[in-house]
Homo-oligomer: A and B are copies of this chain.
């Protein structure tokens, strides 16, 4: 990458908007592809409230687009689309490519890197997990309410998923006041995050329950732990050995998060598509292929799929079944 790389953010919602804005705030050449908030952000800019410092970017300091074809080729493409929109990759990403472009997906779940690799070549692709709490409070308004870190690595990794490119991007993020770390093993990092996402996003959406509610009873802790253990088994079947205390550590860490709504709970509340494939279906499919039984994940997958099929009406009870 050049000293002043061109950075494109595809799907600049809460997470993409925040990182794009931070990079722009620190002088980077950032180009944001927006959808629903395009007109407002183009007119009024972005306003960020953050535990790492509030700031605003007026429209004249932003490059915003509602059409990927109008964007310049980029050195780094950061993908923060919801994974339910991955079918748009073939339309959105090719206009941004040039020789040497790196594509970094910060999306939830499993399989996003694989999809990008199939379309644009595996060496193009990097993956990262954003362990943060960032919400869009209104059009053009972003709230970053909890500290966090982006852990990123190469999709094609031999000994380690760290590479000069990964280290360079991590350094660039850190220089823009974004906590970032190069990962030794992206695949292990993905499964590690799944250990959290499957129980909390799954049960949270199914029961409209925040993390504190799920952990408020012994029965809830038992269900969270049982789901985590299934994810750990699926990871092992996929060649990833997670630390023996990973489940307990995550449960303890989650208690300190307070009343947290996962993105999947928020999606269901708002009648938006839930990220069922990336967070639930793909890990279940990996477990099935490996002959590992994950009955609770199968039940969650069925339940969320059924709810999703009935979610066209505003209320989950609005389908008029009687």
Which positions in A face B, CB cutoff 8 Å? 203, 206-210, 213-214, 217, 219-220, 222-223, 226, 259, 261, 265-266, 268-269, 295-296, 298-299, 301-303, 305-307, 310, 315-317, 319, 321-322
Contact = CB atoms under 8 A, between A and B. Distances in A.
Contact of A310 (B209, B301, B302, B321): B209
Shortest 5 CB-CB contacts between residues of A and residues of B: A219-B302, A207-B306, A261-B322, A223-B302, A210-B321
Dominant SS among interface residues on chain A: helix
User: Most chain-B Cβ atoms within 10 A of its Cβ — which of A208, A217, A223, A305?
Assistant: A208
Contacts of A259: 321
B301 A219 contact: yes
A208 B316 contact: yes
Nearest to A204: B321
Given A261-B321, A296-B299, A306 B209 contact: yes
B223 A322 contact: no
Given A296-B295, A299-B223, A317 B206 contact: no
Contacts of A269: 317, 321-322
Contacts of A316: 208, 315-317
A269 B310 CA distance: 15
Contacts of A306: 207, 209, 213-214, 220
Contact of A208 (B217, B261, B321): B321
Contacts of A207: 303, 306-307, 310
